[in-house]
Structures are given as structure tokens and as C-alpha cells.
Amino acid sequence: MKKNIDPFWWGLFGAGGAISAISIPVLLFLNGLAIPLGWLEPPAYEDFFTLVKHPLTRLFLFALISLSLLHWAHRFRFTLYDGLQVKHLNELIAILCYGTAIAVTFVAGYILWRF
């Protein structure tokens, strides 16, 4: 009997959607509106660098990046599968989508680890 791992990908899809929906609007508001329009004082480079060096910040950034990428991969896979009706390429599309998300996750992890 072949095991289906779709619930695993759907779980990552849901987690990625949740963390993206909660975190990205706040980050966009702060870095895209509040600081450029002068509503908030921009952080000094040393303060920002200290914040990014903290392990919890790195863990948050890694979770945000990796789960958002896996959310994208799942959504893109099913857009191609259902929307464009390329069902005959299901396994190739899954490998390319999730493989890209996992590869970029490793790159992000490496950069965050070395930073």
C-alpha cells in the first residue's frame, strides 16, 4: 500500500499561509510605510544588526522564509495541476516546486547561520 504524503504538504501549506498572513503585513507596514514616511524612527544599524544576530530573530526569519516558500510551492503546484490542467506532469511539477522551495530554504538557512 502506497502512503500518501499530501497531508504533510497541506500542513506546511497551512502553516506557511498563517505565518505569512500574520507577519508579512506587519513587516511591510513597518518597513514600507511607517519608517519611510517618518512615522517611526529608523533603527540604527548597530541596533538592527544586534536584533538580527539574536537566535530567536534568526529562527523567526528562517520559519517565515521556509514556510512562506513551502506555501508558495504548494499553491503553485496546484495552480498548475488544477488551473492549467497539466495532470500528466504531476510528479515532475511536485518535484520542481517542492525541490525549489527546499533548496531556497537551505540557502536561507545557510545565510542566516553564517550571518
Distance between CA atoms of 13 and 69, rounded to whole angstroms? 9
- The count of residues in the chain is 115
pLDDT at 23: 95
Are the C-beta atoms of residues 76 and 97 closer than 8 Å to each other? Answer: yes
Q: pTM to 2 decimals?
A: 0.84
Distance between CA atoms of 85 and 80, rounded to whole angstroms? 7
pLDDT at 9: 85
pLDDT at 26: 95
Amino acid at 50: T
CATH topology of domain 6-114: 3 helical TM bundles of succinate and fumarate reductases (1.20.1300)
Mean pLDDT by 10 residues, the chain (115 residues): 82 92 94 95 93 94 95 92 85 92 96 90
What residue has cell string 516558500?
69
Distance between CA atoms of 104 and 115, rounded to whole angstroms? 16
Task: Note the Cα 39 to chain centre separation in Å.
Answer: 28
pLDDT at 113: 92
pLDDT at 103: 97
Distance, first Cα to last Cα, the chain: 45
> What are the extents of the domains in the chain?
6-114
pLDDT at 85: 85
